[in-house]
Amino acid sequence: MTDKLHRREWMGRVAASILSASGGMAAAQPAAADVLLRKPVDSGSFSLPVIGLGSWISFNVGDDLQARKSCAEVMRYFFQAGGRLIDSSPMYGSSQPVIGEALQLLDARGQVFSADKVWTSGDGRAQIETSRQYWGVPRFDLMQVHNLLAWRTQLPLLFELKRAGLLGHVGITTSHGRRHAELAQLMHAHPLDFVQLTYNIVDRAVEQRILPLARERGIAVIANRPFRGGALMRAVQRERLPVWAAEAGCNNWAEFLLKFIVSHPAVTCAIPATSRVEHVRENMGAARGRLPDTAQRARMAATVAAF
């Protein structure tokens, strides 16, 4: 997707981009339920919907044609609901070719914000090219160093590719709360566009240092493991959704957990992974309506902590 297209979309929906630009905890303001919530990226040169699509495990279905068709249906609904960012990695087995096949089937290469990773100590350029061919996109909108692997080699390569116009943006990733000190150092030392990290209603260590730093440095944040690999959803679904959740804009547990994440002013989007259309429908619900305010976020966290 071109920056120009992003910009045009963003300008058209700027009234609905009620989030971070103003500063504080987002969105105590009411928002129309049918307006897609987006957050500005790259100093506001474009914006992204607050819900993206991960592909860890969920899209690793091998050569199973039936399962690949299901993944394509998930992506079809994701795009129909306004979704843009899809994230993958060479580490995710068959996820990359599954995504590429679905993009072709849905004729959606122009719609996707393609986010992938370089995950090798060896030839990063070759791996990125292989990934690009799997996706079938002219270039990646975002390329990230996966789990900081060989970042001393790969990060300069990514910046070089970006300068040459072969990549849109550069990022680094971590997960499960690992290596935050190193992550912070890299955020200080390099002009990163994105960081990807684990942030959810119970894994909140990044609130202390990493998220404020991202905000200060103007780095977009992608939150992975929003449901802790499904464990959080399984835990909360045993309980009844609090009545007051509706006041925070949450109609189900998926929205409850996701809106907690994306209502943090430093978080650009969350990337829940699923292979089921009914789940992506629920997840995309978190990209519409109001977002919880600071007090509501505290209540949400306390509620889940009490389970």
Query: Where do contacts with another protein occur on this chain (CB under 8 A)?
Result: 56-58, 60-64, 66-67, 91-94, 176-179, 229, 275
Q: How far is the CB of 220 from another protein (least distance, A)?
A: 25
Q: What's the CA gap between 277 and 16, in Å, rounded?
A: 26
Round to the nearest angstrom and report the end-to-end CA distance of the chain.
Answer: 42
Q: How far is the CB of 117 from another protein (least distance, A)?
A: 14
Q: Pick the closer one to another protein by CB: 90 or 265.
A: 90
Q: Pick the closer one to another protein by CB: 75 or 266.
A: 75
Which residue, among 196, 93, 220, has the nearest Cα to 148 in the 3D structure? 196
Q: What's the CA gap between 160 and 257, in Å, rounded?
A: 37
Q: How far is the CB of 88 from another protein (least distance, A)?
A: 12
Q: Pick the closer one to another protein by CB: 21 or 231.
A: 231
Question: What residue spans of the chain are helical by DSSP H?
Answer: 3-12, 65-80, 95-106, 124-135, 151-163, 180-189, 210-217, 231-236, 253-262, 277-285, 294-305
DSSP 40-109: EETTTTEEEESB-BB-TTTT--TT-HHHHHHHHHHHHHHHHTT--EEE--TTSTTHHHHHHHHHHHHT-T
Q: Pick the closer one to another protein by CB: 131 or 296.
A: 131
Strand-pair partners of 113? 85
Q: How far is the CB of 181 from another protein (least distance, A)?
A: 11
Q: Pick the closer one to another protein by CB: 64 or 247.
A: 64
Q: Pick the closer one to another protein by CB: 17 or 96.
A: 96
Q: How far is the CB of 64 from another protein (least distance, A)?
A: 5
**Rg of the chain over all Cα atoms, to the nearest angstrom:** 18
Q: Is 146 helix (H, G, I), strand (E, B) or coil?
A: helix
Q: How far is the CB of 188 from another protein (least distance, A)?
A: 21
Please check whether residue 287 is in contact with residue 261, taking contact to mean a CB–CB distance below 8 angstroms.
no
Q: Pick the closer one to another protein by CB: 74 or 161.
A: 74
Q: Is 276 helix (H, G, I), strand (E, B) or coil?
A: coil
Q: How far is the CB of 174 from another protein (least distance, A)?
A: 10
